[in-house]
């Protein structure tokens, strides 16, 4: 029984588990329904094996759009039910509408009902099992921190806020000038002498060193850590853990040590990657501009009643290598919105008109930017371009900020799909962490991931 106490899941393992068992549960359900109810629309056999492959791909793709693989959503019973309904409905509809790769439409409409119910019930039952069992405390990852006492609150909120299954049980105070034992929220202050016994007693999965003060890692503590390492325990550095869990770069913990993070993703210098991305950007921007042309009459009518004034507006933004360009958008604010000077836009900005709020929420106001993408000023994916006045202001307090300009700014990006609207300098710091993560890990896989998340952002009407 003791061995089960050591079971835990990494973030990536949970997502793989969810994806695999979503497909397995659906296929098993279809197989059972086929036997019990003489359901013959979807038969699993060697001659039509590609039907199952297509269904599996649809489930994973559409599930990504509707946040089925967002661990916060997957662990919440009510949020995941909404995602299951949307995923099963859209999967069935798309599967029925692509007969070249899927079975021919059934003549009996009851077969379609069986198909939908099989998928919905399979996903519902499996995901409820996940919520009640795999997302429970049985599979928490137990961790102990080596850090200064005044860092504990920030470190815990940073890690456990991103992954609720990452449970920090205690910390060893590495501040050599403060030897007092103090309880911090329910997190035990463990002494160096108690460290080995605490790790063994609580089945600690990982020891994370977050101390920025090397003097705090005394010879006595160092020897304890070496002993634990030799015993098979995992010891990791905090910035690595933070980056893996939050998918952000913790710039506040690396000071100006750029060498720790360079070189960034090889894709930034990969000519094949850049050619493929640019080709896709041209195709996407042409489609986007066609949609924009269709929207112009509708936006003009909306402006006539709720947003009188110019249809478009242009504004200076900072692009790649610090080059200034003019961004184009549908106007969403009142006239003379910045007569008092440039200010950050906020989530409930009084300068935004009622019709402008609708355009922002649905991202309609962004469509003219496909012209900037076609011209090469912007990319489809990248850090959002900021205004020169704000870049100068933020760069003074964030040494890493101008690193965003090593690639083209984007219409959407890793920060936009993971964080809300930036209203303050602190918000800009968090978005910078996401932007640097994208620059460091840039790849086609991450690009497609951002595209999926962008779809869900628009579909759930989370624009600002």
Which of these, 229, 230, 205, lies nearest to 7 by C-alpha position?
205
* Domain match, 113 and 144 both: no
Plot region of 305 (φ>0 → left; ψ -120 to 50 → alpha; else → beta): alpha
Q: How many CB atoms lie within 10 A of CB 117?
A: 16
pLDDT for res 281: 94
* Domain match, 367 and 271 both: yes
Q: What is the CATH number of the domain that holds 156?
A: 3.40.50.11060
* Domain match, 154 and 130 both: no
pLDDT of 43 over the 60 cut: yes
* Domain match, 159 and 104 both: no
pLDDT of 346 over the 70 cut: no
Instruction: Choose the final residue of a domain: 80, 107, 134.
Output: 134
Mean pLDDT (the chain) is 81
Is residue 254, in this structure, part of any structural domain at all?
no
* Domain match, 277 and 373 both: yes
Instruction: Choose the final residue of a domain: 246, 278, 300.
Output: 246
Q: What is the pLDDT of residues 378-410, one digit of tens each?
A: 999 999 999 888 888 888 887 778 888 989 999
| Among 156-165, 229-238, 251-260, 274-283, the range of highest mean pLDDT | 274-283
State the DSSP H helix or E strand holding residue 179, giving kind and residue range, or none if neither: none
Distance CA 206, CA 386 (A): 39
pLDDT of 271 over the 50 cut: yes
Average pLDDT over residues 83-99: 88
Distance CA 398, CA 391 (A): 10
* Domain match, 321 and 335 both: yes
pLDDT for res 41: 75
Is residue 261, in this structure, part of any structural domain at all?
no
Is residue 259, in this structure, part of any structural domain at all?
no
Host domain of residue 227 = 140-246
Is residue 253, in this structure, part of any structural domain at all?
no
pLDDT of 373 over the 90 cut: yes
Is residue 402, in this structure, part of any structural domain at all?
yes
Is residue 7, in this structure, part of any structural domain at all?
yes
pLDDT for res 2: 46
pLDDT of 138 over the 70 cut: no
Structure tokens at 53: 């492959």
Average pLDDT over residues 255-259: 55
Domain count, the chain: 3
* Domain match, 9 and 117 both: yes
Instruction: Choose the final residue of a domain: 90, 118, 134.
Output: 134
Task: Note whether 196 and 224 are within 8 A (CB).
Answer: yes
Is residue 229, in this structure, part of any structural domain at all?
yes
3-state secondary structure of 391: helix
* Domain match, 234 and 282 both: no
pLDDT for res 383: 93
pTM of the model: 0.75
Task: Note whether 249 and 243 are within 8 A (CB).
Answer: yes
Average pLDDT over residues 348-364: 79
* Domain match, 32 and 81 both: yes
More confident call, 426 vs 146? 146
pLDDT for res 4: 47
Average pLDDT over residues 2-25: 71
pLDDT band at 262 (very low <50, low <70, confident <90, very high): low
* Domain match, 129 and 148 both: no
Instruction: Tokens 């600002």: give the residue.
Output: 464
More confident call, 272 vs 460? 272
More confident call, 132 vs 420? 132
* Domain match, 231 and 272 both: no
pLDDT band at 182 (very low <50, low <70, confident <90, very high): low
Where in 277-409 does DSSP place strands (E)? 312-318, 324-330, 379-381
Is residue 257, in this structure, part of any structural domain at all?
no
Plot region of 314 (φ>0 → left; ψ -120 to 50 → alpha; else → beta): beta
Please name every residue paired with 329 in a beta bridge, in sequence order, or none if there are none. Answer: 313
pLDDT of 363 over the 80 cut: yes
* Domain match, 427 and 299 both: yes
Distance CA 214, CA 114 (A): 63
């Amino acid at each position: 029984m003791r061995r089960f106490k050591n079971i835990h899941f990494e973030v990536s393992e949970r997502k793989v588990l969810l994806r695999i068992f979503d497909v397995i549960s659906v296929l098993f359900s279809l197989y059972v329904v086929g036997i019990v109810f003489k359901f013959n629309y979807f038969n699993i056999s060697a001659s039509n094996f590609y039907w199952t492959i297509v269904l599996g791909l649809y489930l994973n793709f559409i599930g990504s759009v509707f946040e089925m693989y967002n661990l916060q959503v997957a662990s919440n019973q009510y949020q995941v039910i909404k995602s299951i309904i949307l995923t099963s409905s859209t999967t069935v509809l798309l599967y029925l509408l692509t007969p070249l790769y899927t079975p021919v439409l059934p003549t009996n409409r009851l077969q379609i009902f069986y198909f939908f119910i099989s998928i919905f019930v399979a996903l519902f039952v499996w995901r409820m099992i996940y919520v009640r069992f795999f997302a429970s405390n049985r599979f928490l990852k137990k961790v102990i921190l080596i850090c200064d006492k005044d860092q504990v609150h920030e470190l815990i909120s940073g890690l456990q806020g991103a992954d609720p299954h990452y449970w920090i049980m205690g910390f060893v105070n590495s501040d050599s000038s403060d030897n007092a034992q103090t309880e911090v929220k329910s997190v035990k202050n463990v002494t160096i002498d108690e460290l080995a016994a605490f790790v063994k007693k609580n089945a600690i999965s990982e020891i994370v060193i977050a101390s920025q003060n090397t003097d705090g890692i005394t010879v006595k503590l160092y020897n304890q850590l070496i002993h634990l390492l030799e015993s098979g325990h995992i010891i990791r550095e905090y910035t690595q853990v933070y980056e893996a869990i939050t998918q952000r770069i913790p710039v506040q913990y690396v000071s100006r040590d750029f060498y720790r993070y360079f070189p960034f993703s090889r894709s930034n210098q990969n000519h094949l990657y850049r050619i493929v991305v640019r080709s896709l950007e041209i195709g996407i921007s042409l489609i986007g501009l066609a949609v924009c042309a269709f929207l112009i009459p509708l936006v003009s009518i909306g402006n006539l009643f709720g947003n009188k004034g110019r249809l478009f507006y242009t504004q200076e933004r900072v692009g790649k290598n610090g080059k200034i360009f003019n961004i184009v958008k549908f106007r969403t604010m009142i006239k003379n919105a910045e007569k008092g000077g440039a200010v950050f836009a906020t989530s409930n900005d009084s300068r935004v008109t009622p019709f402008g709020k609708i355009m922002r929420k649905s991202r309609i106001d962004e469509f003219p930017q496909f012209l900037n993408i076609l011209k090469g000023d912007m990319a489809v994916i990248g850090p959002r371009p900021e205004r020169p006045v704000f870049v100068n202001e933020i760069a003074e307090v964030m040494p890493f900020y101008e690193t965003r300009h090593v690639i083209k700014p984007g219409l959407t990006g890793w920060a936009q799909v993971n964080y809300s609207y930036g209203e303050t300098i602190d918000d800009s710091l968090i978005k910078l962490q996401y932007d640097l993560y994208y620059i460091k890990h840039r790849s086609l896989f991450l690009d497609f991931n951002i595209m999926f998340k962008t779809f869900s952002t628009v579909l759930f009407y989370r624009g600002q």
